[in-house]
Amino acid sequence: MNTVLAVNANMSPTKIYVTAEVNGEPVRCLLDSGCERSVISADLVPNAELMPSQYTLYAANKASLDVVGDSIISFVIDWHNFEADVSVSN
């Protein structure tokens, strides 16, 4: 299981991105409270245990996402530990 090590949550209400650290690398993460499913790129979690996905996902422009599986990731926001069930996409 891969862990997001740090997330900068100090942002203005108009910003929709936070900076996270995944495996020691900074990553910009989109905060979308209207999405039905969280997605992470497969290259950010190369060692994640993948389960078969039961989801067909589309981007906002209706383009199909290439989902390779689902996984549970652990992450930290402001020193609080969380887990999320996510789809992993190429």
Q: What is the rounded average pLDDT of the residues 49-72? A: 93
Number of separate domains in the chain: 1
Cβ–Cβ < 8 Å for 67, 80: no
The residue range of the domain holding 60 is 3-89
pLDDT at position 5 is 54
The more confidently predicted of residues 9 and 18 is: 18
Place of tokens 């203005």: 12
Q: Give the up-direction half-sphere exposure of residue 22: CA atoms within 13 A in the CB hemisphere.
A: 18
- Name every residue whose Cβ is closer than 8 Å to that of residue 54 and which is 6 or more positions away in sequence: 70
Count other C-beta atoms under 10 Å from residue 12's C-beta.
Answer: 5
Look over the chain and give the mean of its residue pLDDT values, rounded to a whole number: 79
Q: Beta partners for 40?
A: 88
Question: What is the domain-level CATH number for residue 77?
Answer: 2.40.70.10
**pLDDT band at 63; cut points 50, 70, 90:** very high
CA 11/CA 63 separation, integer angstroms: 30
Whether 21 shows a pLDDT value over 90: the answer reads no
Burial of 30 (0-12, 13-18, 19+ CB in 10 A): exposed
